Structure formats: C-alpha cells, structure tokens
C-alpha cells in the first residue's frame, strides 16, 4: 500500500478524515466536534496548530481570535491565560494540543502547522506524549515542512509541501520531470482544484502511487465530489461533513472507521 512505511498510514484505505472536526456540521476545532466525529467512528482527525506568546500549543486555524470567538487579537501575541478565556461560537473554549492528543490515544491526527514558531514546542510535545506514530505534519509552507522533517526525523509522517505537489503534478505529465519529486513524505494532501482547474486525476494518483505516496483530497463536502474522488482511487478524503462522508463510505462498503 502506498505510504505504509509510516505508522500513521498503516491502516486500510480510503482514510476518512474529519477536517477541523467537521467544520460544517460542528463548531470547528472544539472538543464537542471531535467527540462527535470519534463517536461516528472516525479514527483520523485533521486540525490546526498555533502557539501562544508563552509557548502553549493550541488547536486553532486563524491567526487571530476574531472570526470565530468572542475574543480579539493575534493568537501568537497573547498568553495562554488570555487565549483560554476566548470562546468559540461564544460557547466552547480553545483546546490545547496536548489535551486533544491525550483524549483519544488510538486516534490519529493530521496537524497543519500554521506558523514557524509552532515547530520547537511541537517537537517537545509530540516526543513527550510519544505520539510520533499517530501524527502527520502538514503545512502550506515548504520551509515549515522541511524543518519538520529535519526536527522529527524519518519516523514521523509528513505531507508534501506546495512545491512537492507541483513537481508531482508535472511528473504525472512528463516522465522527464520525475527527478523533480524528491520523496521525503508519506502523502500528497491536495485540494480538489488548483487555479480553478481540477488537480486530482488518474495520472496524478498513478504518479503518487509510483512513489509510494498516498493521495488525500480536501475539502470534500458533497456526495458527488466524494464519489468522484473515491472512484478515481484516492487514498483519503478530508471533509467538513463527516456524517455525509461516513454514510457514503458505508453505502459503498468502504468505511474503514470503527
């Protein structure tokens, strides 16, 4: 199986992954959201990691508190004592990463590294919790992905950064470009479209699998899109609608959760 050299990816596919705990069906990145997904049987959860001014890792997408909480200000400019008082949707507190990882020792987490300052405390936290085997590290920054690989070493799964994805796409069209893809990752986690054009097709998946890379597609929020991607043979689907995806996979006989 593609990507199975990493413990994070050693389970059956297709992987169903709840994006931010299912941000359409629940309050994103909150404990009740993740609890609901685990109750549905999800064993892979996607979330975001930022760091407060005093070094606490928090599960939060935006650089500021303003969009989804009753607080204001940049997360990285505020101490944890302040950040913890902000309520998502006016109801739910922001989670610390270590509390989320500790809640379900058998659940695997795809972690989107949102800032360079996350890396050092993330290494300490993951190693202290002995969670190396159940995390995959991702980022929209090639530099952050490369730094994560250097700091964590080869045992921790990472996804390709943007340049790696671009090189993989190019290699799917031209065998001469195959050398551009320097594989130091377990998966390619990609959007449905790039620049308004479909990104994932049979050639892209074949190029990834030839390099032992799984293909995970985000963010897939309709049954039609999910069906199309599954029919193409993707290895994982990230969704903001976990109930929808679970029901579809059950109907197809492809549900790999609990």
Which residues are known catalytic residues?
A: 19, 61
Strand partners, 109: 45, 135
Q: Residue 110: in which H helix or E strand, if any?
A: strand 108-113
Phi, psi of 183 (to 5 degrees): -80, 110
Distance CA 230, CA 41 (A): 19
Task: Pinpoint the alpha helices (H) of the chain.
Answer: 31-40, 80-83, 97-103, 119-128, 142-152, 162-173, 202-210, 223-232, 242-252
Angle at 77 between CA 75 and CA 79, to 5 degrees: 80
């Amino acid at each position: 199986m593609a990507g199975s050299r990493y413990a994070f990816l050693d389970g059956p596919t297709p992987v169903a992954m709840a994006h931010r705990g299912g941000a359409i069906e629940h309050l994103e990145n909150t404990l009740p959201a993740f609890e609901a997904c685990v109750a549905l049987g999800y064993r892979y959860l996607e979330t975001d990691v930022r760091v407060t001014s005093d070094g606490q890792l928090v599960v939060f997408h935006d650089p500021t508190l303003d969009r989804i909480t009753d607080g204001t200000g940049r997360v990285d400019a505020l101490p944890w004592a302040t950040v913890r008082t902000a309520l998502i949707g006016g109801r739910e507190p922001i989670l610390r990463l270590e509390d989320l990882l500790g809640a379900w020792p058998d659940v695997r987490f795809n972690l989107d590294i949102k800032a360079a300052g996350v890396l050092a405390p993330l290494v300490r936290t993951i190693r202290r919790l002995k969670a190396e085997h159940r995390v995959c590290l991702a980022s929209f920054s090639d530099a952050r992905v490369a730094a994560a690989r250097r700091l964590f070493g080869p045992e921790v799964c990472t996804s390709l950064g943007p340049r790696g994805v671009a090189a993989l796409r190019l290699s799917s069209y031209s065998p001469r470009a195959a050398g551009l893809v320097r594989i130091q990752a377990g998966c390619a986690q990609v959007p449905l479209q790039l620049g308004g054009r479909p990104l994932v097709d049979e050639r892209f998946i074949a190029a990834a699998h030839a390099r032992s890379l799984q293909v995970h597609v985000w963010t897939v929020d309709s049954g039609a899109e999910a069906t199309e991607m599954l029919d193409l043979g993707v290895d994982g689907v990230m969704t903001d609608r976990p109930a929808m995806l679970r029901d579809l996979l059950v109907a197809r006989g492809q549900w790999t959760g609990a």
